[in-house]
């Protein structure tokens, strides 16, 4: 099981993209990017540095951010 760190507060809307693409994750400790497909190939979800907590990298998306 991947220990995901959810930093997003907003919920995903129903506007789910039809296309699926590789999601990349960054190791929380060393920052190494690992593709989702690479992680799924591993017998154990673990970074090369041994850390197991990843954050999801999101592709740059232009969107409106709510001002608080
Ligand atoms: Zn790492």
Residue 7 Cα to ligand 1 midpoint, Å, equals: 18
Residue 16 in any domain: the answer is no
Give the pLDDT band (50/70/90) at residue 1: low
Residue 32 in any domain: the answer is yes
Residue 36 in any domain: the answer is yes
Residue 66 Cα to ligand 1 midpoint, Å, equals: 32
- Tokens 């709510």: give the residue: 66
Work out how many domains the chain is built from and give that number.
Answer: 1
Residue 43 Cα to ligand 1 midpoint, Å, equals: 16
Residue 40 belongs to domain spanning: 22-61
Residue 10 in any domain: the answer is no
Residue 58 Cα to ligand 1 midpoint, Å, equals: 18
Q: pLDDT value at position 26?
A: 93
Residue 34 in any domain: the answer is yes
Residue 40 in any domain: the answer is yes
Quote the distance between the C-alpha of residue 7 and its chain's center. 10
Q: pLDDT value at position 64?
A: 75
Residue 47 in any domain: the answer is yes
Residue 9 in any domain: the answer is no
> In percent, how much of the chain has pLDDT > 90?
28
H-helix segments, 8-53 = 36-41
Residue 68 Cα to ligand 1 midpoint, Å, equals: 33
**Cα radius of gyration (the chain):** 14
Q: Give the DSSP letter of residue 37.
A: H
């Amino acid at each position: 099981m991947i220990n995901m760190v959810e930093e997003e507060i907003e919920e995903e809307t129903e506007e789910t993209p039809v296309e699926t693409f590789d999601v990349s994750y960054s190791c929380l400790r060393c920052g190494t990017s690992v593709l989702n497909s690479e992680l799924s190939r591993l017998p154990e979800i673990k970074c090369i540095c041994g850390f197991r907590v990843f954050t999801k990298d999101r592709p740059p998306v232009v969107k409106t951010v709510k001002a608080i």
